[in-house]
Amino acid sequence: MICCVFVVGTVKYTFEGGAMVERSHDTVLSAMSLAVTRKCSVDGVKGPSPVTKLGTLDLVWGFSPDYMHCVLEGVTAQMTELWLSATGKPWYVGNRIAELNQRILKARPPISFSRLPRPVSERAFWKATEWKYWLLYYSVPCLQNILPDRYIRYFSLLVEGIFMLLRESVEHNDTFIAERLLKQFVEEVKIFYDES
């Protein structure tokens, strides 16, 4: 079960355990109708969508996940911000940002990378591609011996799960492994980080 809470002006979705009920086309249509009736969001659905007129489009499985906003500019940026801004927390490393900057700037990415690394102190200006490179290639090596190991191991669940799903060829078994890693990442967030 996933619960919605407000923390410091931000909506947080927390995993409370138990069986998850998958959305279906019909449950999304029902949530759209209820949202209109109640004049508020229902299960994250704000109201009817014009795409319902397409008829054969499945409202759940007919869309690919938005990994750029959800993972790169969402979870990855949030985790990085937690590490660098949450003073007094065991995961706080903002006092070592100069060292992080130095490490990322020493990285020599392959020519196929469209952007060279920029300092972590400039993360407010990073593009999605820079967040991708940070997540998949720079974060874990740069954070070694700066962020406590338990937090690096935890974050590595996200890194490995997303890395597996972004490969050019994804084996069927890889999707199960990636799903397990990402579920573990979501389920354990409250163990590693409080209501931050």
pLDDT in tens, the chain (196 residues): 455 565 555 666 666 666 778 889 999 999 999 999 999 988 889 999 899 888 889 998 898 888 999 999 999 999 999 999 999 999 999 999 999 999 999 999 999 999 999 999 999 999 999 999 999 999 999 999 999 999 999 999 999 999 999 999 999 999 999 999 999 999 998 888 876 5
Alpha helices in the chain (DSSP H): 25-38, 67, 77-85, 97-106, 128-133, 139-143, 149-166, 172-192
Contact 142, 100 (CB under 8 A): yes
My answer on whether 86 and 165 are in the same domain is yes
Whether the full predicted model's pTM is greater than 0.85, yes or no, is no
- Full domain range(s) for residue 8: 2-54
3-state secondary structure of 65: coil
My answer on whether 78 and 22 are in the same domain is no
My answer on whether 107 and 148 are in the same domain is yes
In this structure, the chain runs to a length of: 196
The values of phi and psi at residue 115, to 5°, are -135, 140
